[in-house]
């Protein structure tokens, strides 16, 4: 959970740390790709092998597979999601106006020789048909750093209103 992850990050890296900076840079790049709806390029940010992209419906969940989630994608399912988003045949995706998002409040800690955990906040303003929606979430990224380029191994999006009534969504958080 983000709050615990932040507390754990007493051993967190200084933001000026080279590894921390490259992880944050990756998350900024990801935010831009998602706002630009460049989902194929976004997919390239993910690590090979086993990954997880989750938007849970409850903060306390530890076993996402045992519960209902808004999104619970392993690597193949994430690619199918990208296929849908880029198919041109998904009405909700086609109807998306524009989104702009801010990610901030980064805290980075090292959880393995080649893995960082980054917590942050995400505020998305989505505009469509005269209507502005605000989506707010706490993010936890697991970033692997084994190659020269950092990659996303896991991303958990805790919506502030996950346990309540939300709007249907034609873009990604």
Partner 1 sequence: MSIDVAGRTGSDWGSLVAADRVSARVYLDPEIYEAELERIFYKTWNCVGHESEFPERGSFKTRAVGRRPVIVCRDRNDQINVLLNRCRHRGALLCEKPDGAVAGGFTCPYHSWSYALDGRLRGIPYPDGYPRDIDKARLGLGRLRVETYAGLIFATFDEDAEPLAGFLGAARRWIDLFMKQGAGYPIKVQGAFKFRYQANWKIQLENVTDGYHFPLVHRSWMANVDAQTAEMLSFMKDPEAVTYGLENGHSVGIFVPEHVDLDEDDGTEALQDRFGDLVADLQPGLPPERLRRLVRSLHGAGFNLNIFPNLALSMGFIRLLNPVAVDATDNEHMVLGYEGGPEGANRERLRIHEHFQGPFGFGTPDDSEVWARVQRGAAADPNMPILIDRGLNREEMSDEGHLRSHVTDETGMREAYQMWKRLMTDAG
Contact status: 91 vs partner 1 (CB under 8 A): yes
Report the residue count for the chain: 173
Piece in contact with partner 1 (CB under 8 A), picked from 4-12, 15-23, 84-92, 146-154: 84-92
Map the footprint of partner 1 across residues 129-168, applying CB under 8 A.
Answer: 129, 131, 163-168
Q: Is residue 13 within 8 Å of residue 19, measured between CB atoms?
A: yes
50 burial class (0-12, 13-18, 19+ CB within 10 angstroms)?
exposed
Pick the piece of the chain touching partner 1 (CB under 8 A) from 2-10, 15-23, 85-93, 105-113. 85-93
Q: Which of 3, 48, 95, 125 binds partner 1 (CB under 8 A)?
A: 95
Exactly one of 57, 124, 139, 156 binds partner 1 (CB under 8 A); which one? 57
Query: In which element (H, E) is residue 11 found?
Result: none
> According to CB under 8 A, which one of 75, 81, 110, 114 is a site residue for partner 1?
81
The Cα angle at residue 39 between residues 75 and 41, in degrees rounded to 5: 90
Minimum separation from the CB atom of position 22 to partner 1 (A): 29
By the rule CB under 8 A, 62 interacts with partner 1 = no
Tell me how far apart the alpha carbons of residues 106 and 139 are, in angstroms, rounded to a whole number: 9
Q: Measure CA 86 to chain center.
A: 18
Query: H-helix or E-strand containing 117?
Result: strand 115-128
Q: Is 13 in the site for partner 1 (CB under 8 A)?
A: no
Contacts with partner 1 by CB under 8 A lie at 55, 57, 65-72, 77, 80-81, 83-84, 87, 89-93, 95, 129, 131, 163-170
């Amino acid at each position: 959970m983000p709050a615990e992850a932040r507390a754990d990050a007493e051993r967190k890296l200084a933001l000026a740390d080279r590894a921390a900076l490259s992880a944050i840079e990756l998350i900024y790049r990801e935010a831009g790709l998602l706002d630009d709806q460049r989902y194929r390029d976004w997919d390239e940010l993910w690590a090979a092998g086993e990954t997880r992209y989750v938007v849970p419906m409850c903060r306390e969940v530890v076993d996402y597979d045992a519960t209902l989630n808004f999104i619970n994608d392993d690597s193949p399912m994430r690619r199918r999601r990208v296929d849908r988003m880029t198919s041109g045949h998904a009405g909700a995706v086609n109807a998306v106006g524009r989104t702009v998002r801010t990610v901030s409040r980064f805290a980075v800690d090292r959880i393995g020789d080649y893995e960082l955990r980054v917590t942050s906040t995400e505020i998305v303003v989505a505009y469509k048909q005269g209507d502005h929606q605000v989506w707010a979430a706490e993010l936890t990224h697991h970033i692997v750093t084994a190659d020269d380029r950092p990659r996303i191994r896991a991303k958990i999006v805790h919506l502030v209103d996950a346990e309540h009534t939300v709007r249907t969504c034609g873009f990604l958080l």
